[in-house]
């Protein structure tokens, strides 16, 4: 008998002896999952776990979050500041003082020689909110360049722009709880299972408790598309045509919520006139967007007739030439069906980076802190007074975005650049052009957790930053929930928190002695609270404190000090939804219906470049792999770049599964391994964007006119056979991690 052994073997299972759990929020995407980091007796990280009592993730974590605590000591971390005179020289170690002095001197030198705006700062969505606020103070208040932006221009700018155009202000109006109430969900270019697994789980849970139809618009048969009740495999870039056509059906059949429209929106007749144009009759629209007329009508009726319907979207909308328009048009759809500010009815942009929201709210990239704008004299005055400086120091309108900063380096207008936690050498479209621009910089300072970040090839000063729970501060997630990262462990080697770096840099500028820079992130948070007070302001965090946030595992804004105690969860619940009263942040309080007339300016597949080139994320990697590429249990699922290609197309070209091919576009070339799958159309290919010297050597990235966000996802390419051994060698050489 197999059970009968007398001497059972000992059972040994690794034990993590946790002496203390530290509260944290995940530092990867914007879902905002709460994590507890387990520290051993010696203060070293031994494990982590999802916080089961946090509303967002309820204990669940995705692959990246589960393994995130392994990143603190991963290879390539920066250990000390580095300096050199030319980017082709070798780096020399430096002290923090030397590195900061040199940086400050160079900034001043460039500004004196070429003008204040000749030095640019490009930040990120990865820092903590207090750090963003401090960086904003430093750049807007001390350095005084107007060419200051975040890499959020690559991911969320269109959502911001669309929200502002429709509702008068940024800020996703819905929440994850809406899944529990909606009767129809439409996802545009959003692949939750891969990009936001925990949000997907919330959706799945909601569907298991009470099923509702899921409509997915995506040119690729993603996991979400496969699980959808209705999948609309749209022609790339034509979402606005589909939405206009849906609106056409809705207005034509009288399915719109006219009472809501008349009470709470501007521009109704113009929109109605536009969408009722015969171009957007499904009979004609079907040829443009690739979705047959019957399907368009079915979906329009389903959406309009649902008691509550919601839309979510991600990069499929944002990263296109009609990104901002797409967002505004989704807002149109929801306004027309009365689906804003009600449980289960919303326009919920699924954000990308962990703190894209934080940078939108507080970094001053696109204006001034707390959703204030440079164009408003009153708001300039307000901030100048609060900081104690002359309002004339501020520019009167917003400067260049990240995507315009690089062309300005190209043209010589910008001579110096400070990159904070971003890697444009991999992440920007058309990287051959970016590389050329980088070479022209007189001074580049790179501030990053990783010394081996590719952009560091061109830097003159490298500042090693601390990462995640080596620091303390807040994130804001997709549903406006402010959540806390507690400092769990000391900084790695001689790296420093970004907060400290900005504070120290401020001391080297005149206004740095005028403006108060609190010593702790919590001190900065208190300043932000003060700046957020205002009864009309949606972004009001004045009722929050670090302790309250931790106690509630995140609080959504608005959460006003004046209203403390009025809500559930022992008084710690912020507003789950915005615009519940139909009052918007526009001058007349009504939402704007935006007329989006679609003009197709995308690079289209042609004889020379016959394939649509699409790019996107995979679940195991984040951004440019500087973190996940070094964590084996993440990286092993895609350690090298690949391309999804349709087997029928491959057959014609004589290309086989797992062979290498060379892609060319009008910009450059790339070598990838082919994965044959019917997930993509015959005239389309998909390549993950995480890999250095890969898909972004090919992408065009036409800019959205409103958001200046690049259209990463629509351009064309050609596929060529290559010598397999040469390609394999090249592939191995290009993978430093």
Partner 1 sequence: MNDQLKESILNTSNTVDVVEVFDPRDMTPVVKPEDAAAASHWEVRTQEQPYAFLSDKKVDEANRYGQKIDLVDLTGLPANRSMFINDNPEVGVNPNRNKQHGFFFTADNCIGCHACEAACSEKNENPAHLAFRSVGYVEGGSYPDYKRMNISMACNHCDNPVCLKGCPTRAYTKHAEYGAVLQDPETCFGCGYCTWVCPYNAPQLDPIKGQVSKCNMCVDRLEVGLKPSCVSACVGNALDFGVIENVPENREQAKTSIPGFPTPEITHPNIRFQQTRTMPDEMKRTDSMPLKYHKEEDGSYTPMVDQKKGKTKHWNVGRLSSRENPLVLFTLAMQAVMGAFALTFLGDQLHIDVLSQFKASSMYVPLLIVCLVIGGAGNFMSAMHLGKPHRFYRGFNNLRHSPMSREILGVAGFMSTLGLHILFSLPANDMFQSLYNGVIGSDIGDLIPMTTSATIATVFGYLCIAFTLFALYYMTRCYRIEARPFWNHYQVSTSFVGNLLSLGSLLGGGAVIATLALGGFDIQAALVICGALVTLGIALEGFGLVGHHRDMSKASHEGAASHYIQCTTFGKTYMLRNVLLSVNLLAALVLTSGVFGDAFSDSLALAGWGLVSVTLIGTCLVSRALFYVLVVPTTMPGAFFWKNKGFEEHARDIGLANMPQVGVVPNLH
9 binds partner 1 (CB under 8 A): yes
Sole window of 130-138, 457-465, 603-611, 673-681 interacting with partner 1 (rule: CB under 8 A): 673-681
Sole window of 4-12, 162-170, 377-385, 597-605 interacting with partner 1 (rule: CB under 8 A): 4-12
Contact between 485 and 24 under an 8 Å Cβ cutoff? The reply is: yes
Q: Give the nearer residue to partner 1 in terms of CB position, either 44 or 258.
A: 44
Q: How far is the CB of 304 from partner 1 (least distance, A)?
A: 25
Q: Give the nearer residue to partner 1 in terms of CB position, either 276 or 653.
A: 653
Q: Give the nearer residue to partner 1 in terms of CB position, either 334 or 638.
A: 638
Report the distance separating Cα 54 and Cα 482, nearest Å.
12
Q: How far is the CB of 554 from partner 1 (least distance, A)?
A: 8
Sole window of 86-94, 217-225, 327-335, 505-513 interacting with partner 1 (rule: CB under 8 A): 217-225
Burial of 86 (0-12, 13-18, 19+ CB in 10 A): exposed
Using alpha carbons only, what angle is made at residue 659 by residues 429 and 682, rounded to the nearest 5 degrees? 65
Of residues 529-568, those binding partner 1 (CB under 8 A): 551-554
Which residues in 253-279 are b (16+ Cβ under 10 Å) and which e? eebbbeebbeebbbbbeebbebbeeeb
CA distances from 333 to 42, 163, 245, 645 (A): 56, 13, 10, 33
Which of 680, 719, 694 has the alpha carbon at shortest distance from 639? Answer: 694
Query: Which positions from 479 to 518 touch partner 1 by CB under 8 A, shown as an x/- string?
Result: ----------------------------------------
Of residues 570-589, those binding partner 1 (CB under 8 A): 570, 572-573
H helices of 116-235, in order, are 129-136, 157-167, 192-195, 197-209, 223-227
Which of 597, 657, 705, 721 is in the footprint of partner 1 by CB under 8 A? 657
Task: Give φ, ψ of 97 to 5 degrees.
Answer: -60, -45
3 binds partner 1 (CB under 8 A): yes
Query: To which residue do tokens 């197709």 refer?
Result: 600
Sole window of 2-10, 368-376, 438-446, 595-603 interacting with partner 1 (rule: CB under 8 A): 2-10
Report the distance separating Cα 212 and Cα 229, nearest Å.
9
Cis ω before 259 (30° cut-off from 0) = no
Q: Give the nearer residue to partner 1 in terms of CB position, either 116 or 548.
A: 548
298 binds partner 1 (CB under 8 A): no
Contact between 149 and 402 under an 8 Å Cβ cutoff? The reply is: yes
Contact between 266 and 592 under an 8 Å Cβ cutoff? The reply is: yes
Which of 123, 538, 638, 696 is in the footprint of partner 1 by CB under 8 A? 638
Residues 6+ apart with CB under 8 A from 210: 180
287 binds partner 1 (CB under 8 A): no
Contact between 322 and 240 under an 8 Å Cβ cutoff? The reply is: yes
Q: How far is the CB of 549 from partner 1 (least distance, A)?
A: 11
Q: How far is the CB of 673 from partner 1 (least distance, A)?
A: 8
Sole window of 163-171, 205-213, 527-535, 583-591 interacting with partner 1 (rule: CB under 8 A): 205-213
The dihedral built from the CA positions of residue 164, 696, 61 and 358, taken in this order, carries a sign that is negative
Q: How far is the CB of 683 from partner 1 (least distance, A)?
A: 10
Report the distance separating Cα 218 and Cα 188, nearest Å.
7
Of residues 29-88, those binding partner 1 (CB under 8 A): 36, 47, 49-55, 58-63, 66-67
Please tell me whether residue 732 adopts helix, strand or coil conformation. Answer: helix
Which of 272, 361, 620, 704 is in the footprint of partner 1 by CB under 8 A? 620
Query: Which positions from 143 to 182 touch partner 1 by CB under 8 A, shown as an x/- string?
Result: ----------------------------------x-----
200 binds partner 1 (CB under 8 A): yes
Which of 269, 535, 588, 658 is in the footprint of partner 1 by CB under 8 A? 658
Which of 98, 40, 35 has the alpha carbon at shortest distance from 67? Answer: 35
Query: Which positions from 401 to 440 touch partner 1 by CB under 8 A, shown as an x/- string?
Result: ----------------------------------------
Q: Give the nearer residue to partner 1 in terms of CB position, either 269 or 725.
A: 725
8 binds partner 1 (CB under 8 A): yes
Q: How far is the CB of 218 from partner 1 (least distance, A)?
A: 9
451 binds partner 1 (CB under 8 A): no
Q: Give the nearer residue to partner 1 in terms of CB position, either 188 or 642.
A: 642
230 binds partner 1 (CB under 8 A): no
User: CB neighbours (10 Å) of residue 15?
Assistant: 8
Ramachandran assignment for 259, one of left (phi > 0), alpha (psi -120 to 50 degrees), beta (any other)? alpha
239 binds partner 1 (CB under 8 A): no
The sheet carrying 92-93 orders its strands as 92-93, 82-83, 461-464, 443-448, 416-420, 119-123, 148-150
19 binds partner 1 (CB under 8 A): no
Q: Give the nearer residue to partner 1 in terms of CB position, either 60 or 508.
A: 60
DSSP state at residue 35: E
Of residues 675-734, those binding partner 1 (CB under 8 A): 675, 677-682, 728-729, 731-732
Q: How far is the CB of 189 from partner 1 (least distance, A)?
A: 15
User: CB neighbours (10 Å) of residue 530?
Assistant: 12
Give the bridge partners for 462, in sequence order.
82, 446
Which of 76, 407, 639, 668 is in the footprint of partner 1 by CB under 8 A? 639
635 binds partner 1 (CB under 8 A): yes
């Amino acid at each position: 008998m197999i059970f009968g052994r007398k001497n059972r073997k000992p059972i040994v299972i690794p034990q993590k002896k946790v002496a203390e759990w530290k509260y944290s929020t995940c530092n990867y995407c914007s879902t905002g999952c709460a994590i507890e980091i387990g520290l051993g007796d010696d203060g070293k990280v031994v494990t982590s776990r999802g916080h089961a009592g946090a509303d967002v993730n309820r204990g669940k974590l995705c692959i990246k979050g589960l393994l995130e605590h392994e990143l603190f000591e991963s290879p390539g971390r920066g250990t000390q500041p580095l300096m050199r005179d030319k980017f082709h020289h070798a780096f020399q170690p430096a002290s923090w003082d030397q590195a900061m002095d040199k940086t400050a001197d160079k900034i001043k030198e460039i500004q004196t020689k070429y003008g204040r705006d000749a030095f640019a700062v490009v930040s990120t969505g990865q820092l903590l909110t207090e750090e963003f606020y401090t960086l904003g103070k430093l750049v807007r208040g001390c350095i005084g360049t107007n060419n200051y932006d975040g890499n959020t221009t690559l991911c969320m700018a269109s959502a911001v722009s669309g929200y502002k155009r429709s509702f008068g202000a940024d800020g996703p109006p819905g929440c994850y709880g809406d899944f529990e109430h909606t009767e129809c969900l439409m996802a545009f270019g959003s692949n939750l299972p891969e990009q936001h697994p925990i949000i997907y789980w919330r959706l799945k849970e909601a569907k298991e408790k009470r099923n509702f139809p899921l409509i997915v618009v995506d040119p690729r048969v993603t996991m979400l598309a496969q699980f959808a009740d209705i999948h609309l495999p749209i022609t790339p870039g034509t979402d606005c045509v589909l939405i206009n056509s849906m609106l056409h059906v809705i207005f034509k059949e009288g399915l719109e919520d006219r009472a809501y429209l008349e009470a709470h929106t501007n521009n109704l007749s113009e929109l109605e006139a536009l969408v009722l144009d015969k171009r957007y009759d499904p009979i004609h629209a079907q040829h443009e967007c690739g979705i047959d007329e019957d399907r368009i009508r079915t979906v329009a009726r389903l959406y309009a007739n649902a008691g509550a319907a919601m839309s979510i979207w991600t990069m499929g909308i944002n990263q296109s030439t009609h990104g901002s328009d797409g967002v505004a048009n989704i807002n149109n759809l929801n306004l027309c069906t009365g689906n804003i500010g009600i449980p289960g009815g919303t326009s919920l942009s699924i954000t990308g980076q962990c703190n894209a929201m934080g940078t939108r709210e507080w970094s001053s990239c696109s204006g001034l802190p707390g959703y204030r704008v440079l164009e408003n004299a009153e708001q300039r005055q307000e901030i100048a007074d609060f900081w104690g400086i002359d309002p004339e120091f501020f520019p009167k309108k917003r400067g260049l975005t990240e995507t315009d900063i690089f062309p300005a380096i190209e043209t010589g207008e910008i001579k110096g650049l400070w990159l904070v936690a971003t890697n444009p050498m991999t992440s920007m479209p058309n990287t051959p052009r970016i590389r050329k621009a980088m070479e022209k910089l007189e001074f580049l300072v790179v501030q990053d957790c990783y010394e081996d970040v590719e952009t560091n090839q061109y830097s003159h000063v490298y500042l090693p930053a601390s990462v995640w729970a080596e620091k303390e501060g807040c994130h804001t997630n997709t549903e406006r929930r402010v959540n806390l990262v507690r400092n769990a462990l000391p900084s790695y080697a001689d790296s420093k928190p970004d907060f400290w770096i900005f504070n120290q840099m401020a001391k080297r500028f005149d206004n740095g002695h005028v403006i108060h820079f609190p010593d702790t992130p919590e001190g900065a948070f208190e300043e932000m609270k003060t700046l957020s007070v205002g009864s009309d302001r949606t972004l009001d965090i004045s009722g929050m404190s670090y302790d309250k946030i931790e106690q509630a595992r995140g609080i959504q804004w608005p959460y006003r000090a004046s209203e403390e105690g009025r809500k559930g969860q022992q008084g710690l619940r912020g507003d789950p939804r915005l615009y519940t009263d139909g009052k918007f942040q526009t001058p007349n309080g009504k939402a704007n219906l935006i007329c989006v007339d679609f003009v197709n300016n995308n690079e289209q597949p042609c004889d020379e470049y016959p394939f649509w080139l699409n790019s996107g994320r995979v679940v195991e990697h984040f951004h440019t792999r500087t973190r996940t590429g070094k964590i084996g249990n993440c990286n092993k699922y895609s350690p090298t770049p690949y391309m999804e290609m349709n087997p029928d197309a491959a057959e014609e070209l004589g290309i086989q599964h797992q062979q290498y091919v060379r892609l060319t576009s009008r910009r450059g070339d790339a070598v990838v391994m082919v994965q044959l799958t019917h997930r993509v159309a015959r005239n389309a290919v998909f390549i993950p964007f995480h890999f250095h010297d890969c898909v972004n050597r090919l992408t065009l990235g036409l800019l959205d006119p409103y958001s200046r966000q690049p259209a990463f996802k629509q351009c064309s390419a050609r596929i060529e056979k290559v010598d397999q051994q040469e390609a394999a060698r090249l592939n191995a050489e290009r993978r430093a991690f």
